[in-house]
Amino acid sequence: MNKFNYHRRKSSVVQIGNTPMGGDYPVRVQSMTNASTMDTEACIEQCIRIIEAGGEYVRLTAQGIREAENLKNIREGLRNRGYETPLIADIHFNPAAAEVAAQYVEKVRINPGNFVKSIKKDNSDYTGEEFERERLLLRERFVHFLNICKQHNTAVRIGVNHGSLSERMMNRYGDTPLGMVESCMELLRICREENFYQIVISLKASNTVLMINAVRMLVERMDAEDFHFPLHLGVTEAGEGEDGRIKSAVGIGSLLADGIGDTIRVSLSEDPEKEIPVAFAILQATRTRITKTEYISCPSCGRTLFDLQKTIKKIKEATSHLVGLKIAVMGCIVNGPGEMADADFGYVGAGLGRVSLYKGKTCVLKNIPEEQAVEALLALIEK
Ligand code: SF4
């Protein structure tokens, strides 16, 4: 990929219910419920909060057959209330639960690290023959699952997590980005042999640097084998508050800036719907998906000629409903016009109590009194 000429990686399109992913479709935003999957009403309520916040897919865990069966009721409850958003089942350890869930929801996530049990009874190294025997067992169970997905038009996410690789992969590659990539590539080759292409991939870790390395390595390996599946990005266990948001922005944002990524999930230790605005802010900051007005404002300094914070607040309140505009608020004329060159409109301090307004790079109103300036800017934008 060319580091100096941004373009989005060309991925294949995967049909997930009524919301396709990949290709030229917008990078999708999703979240995951944290209510018990056996509590149908609580899950429906939580799904609705995620959807109302802007979530385009909702994932629910299904740790066993009972939970996987209950996805049917949750889905029906949501559809009865008019919500068509695709649901995703999240499965670990239990391929039988994945097979049940695939009949009821639009996509199933499996973890190749725990899809089948290890054949080893001790901690000795895998021989080549043992490695292959276990791979064939995984293949058999995975193909059975894919056949059910084919019957029900269910998409699949191969979700590899650092820290939960299979013993076989750990033994050969260690808990490394290479081990994560190999775990994934082995299943992709099976998908190709079985003619199954409704596949999304994720490689996640709580260590942002490791996660970024693993995904970049995977993209290179997929390109070499002519695989173009869409990618789901996320930093696991990112935490909460500012730390969780920054960690997510660094991990997800770095890859988006590379042009990699077709759906994102910000994982916060907070209510799931709180993840959605953060996800959209990361997409906006990487200019991957524009959904709101962008504000460009200087930090202010000794040259600032008006109350910058109060002015920004006022302008934001009046314009935050507009989509796709860039509005600059700059403290002074010295650096203001040059540094806001990217903006559609500019509000720049011109002298004590005086403001100049810009449309693009052109000054359209000069030295107007500060108390009239916000109104004048809004009138200019409206015009
Ligand atoms: S734009 Fe002017 S007021 Fe704002 S930080 Fe730069 S020099 Fe200071």
- The mean-pLDDT minimum among 70-79, 194-203, 362-371 falls in 362-371
Give the residue carrying structure tokens 């239990």. Answer: 94
CA distance 320 to 316: 5
- If pLDDT is split at 50, 70 and 90, which confidence band does 321 have? confident
Write out pLDDT tens, residues 111-148. Answer: 999 898 899 888 899 999 999 999 999 999 999 999 99
Q: Is residue 6 one of the residues assigned to a domain? A: no
Supply the pLDDT for residue 329.
92
d(CA 241, ligand 1 centre) in Å = 29
Please give the tally of structural domains in the chain. Answer: 2
Atom of ligand 1 nearest to the CA of 339: 1
d(CA 329, ligand 1 centre) in Å = 10
SS3 of residue 351 by DSSP: strand
SS3 of residue 116 by DSSP: coil
Write out pLDDT tens, residues 233-246. Answer: 999 888 889 999 99
Q: Is residue 94 one of the residues assigned to a domain? A: yes
Q: Give Cα separations from 299 to 75, 98, 363 (angstroms).
A: 47, 51, 22
The CATH number of residue 212's host domain is: 3.20.20.20
Over range 32-49, report the average pLDDT: 98
Distance of CA 12 to the CA centre of its chain: 17
d(CA 364, ligand 1 centre) in Å = 20
Supply the pLDDT for residue 1.
65
> Are 308 and 366 in the same domain?
yes
CA distance 140 to 333: 69
Residues with CB under 6 A from ligand 1: 298-301, 303-304, 330-332, 334-336
Among 295, 300, 309, which residue has the most ligand 1 atoms within 8 Å of its CB, making it the best to mutate? Answer: 300
d(CA 349, ligand 1 centre) in Å = 9
CB atoms < 10 A from the CB of 1, how many? Answer: 13
121 vs 327 pLDDT, higher one: 327
Give the residue carrying structure tokens 């988006």. Answer: 256
Write out pLDDT tens, residues 175-215. Answer: 999 999 999 999 999 999 999 999 999 999 989 999 999 99
Taking the CA of residue 117 as centre, how many other CA atoms within 13 Å lie in the half-sphere pointing to its CB? 5
Q: Is residue 20 one of the residues assigned to a domain? A: no
Atom of ligand 1 nearest to the CA of 333: 2
H/E segment holding residue 242: helix 241-258
Over range 327-337, report the average pLDDT: 83
Domain that holds residue 173: 28-285
CA distance 88 to 71: 9
> Are 46 and 188 in the same domain?
yes
Over range 331-353, report the average pLDDT: 83
What is the full DSSP assignment across 193-211?
A: HTT---EEEEEEBSSHHHH
pTM: 0.92
The percentage of the chain sitting over the pLDDT mark of 70, rounded to a whole number, equals 99
Supply the pLDDT for residue 322.
85
> Are 104 and 126 in the same domain?
yes
> Are 192 and 302 in the same domain?
no
The percentage of the chain sitting over the pLDDT mark of 90, rounded to a whole number, equals 83
Q: Is residue 10 one of the residues assigned to a domain? A: no
Supply the pLDDT for residue 307.
86
Among 295, 297, 304, 358, which residue has the most ligand 1 atoms within 8 Å of its CB, making it the best to mutate? Answer: 304
- If pLDDT is split at 50, 70 and 90, which confidence band does 336 have? low
Supply the pLDDT for residue 272.
96
Supply the pLDDT for residue 303.
86
> Are 327 and 254 in the same domain?
no
300: which residues sit within 8 A by CB, 6+ positions away?
308, 309, 331
The β-bridge relationship of strands 345-351 and 354-359 is antiparallel
Q: Is residue 185 one of the residues assigned to a domain? A: yes
What are the two backbone dihedrals, phi and then psi, of residue 364, each rounded to the nearest 5 degrees? -105, -20
Is the CB of residue 279 less than 8 Å from the CB of residue 267?
Answer: no
Q: Is residue 22 one of the residues assigned to a domain? A: no
* pLDDT at residue 281 greater than cutoff 80: yes
Q: Which residue has the CA at smallest separation from atom 2 of ligand 1?
A: 332
> Are 108 and 169 in the same domain?
yes
> Are 269 and 229 in the same domain?
yes
Q: Is residue 8 one of the residues assigned to a domain? A: no
Over range 44-68, report the average pLDDT: 97
Write out pLDDT tens, residues 92-111. Answer: 889 999 999 999 999 999 99
Q: Which residue has the CA at smallest separation from atom 8 of ligand 1?
A: 301
d(CA 253, ligand 1 centre) in Å = 27
Q: Long-range contacts for 136-141 (Cβ within 8 Å, ≥24 apart)?
A: 138/112, 138/166, 138/186, 138/187, 139/190, 141/95, 141/115, 141/116
Write out pLDDT tens, residues 2-27. Answer: 777 889 999 999 999 999 999 999 99
335 vs 50 pLDDT, higher one: 50
Rg over CA atoms, the chain: 25
Supply the pLDDT for residue 152.
98
Supply the pLDDT for residue 123.
84
Q: Which of 190, 201, 189 has its CA nearest to residue 145?
A: 190
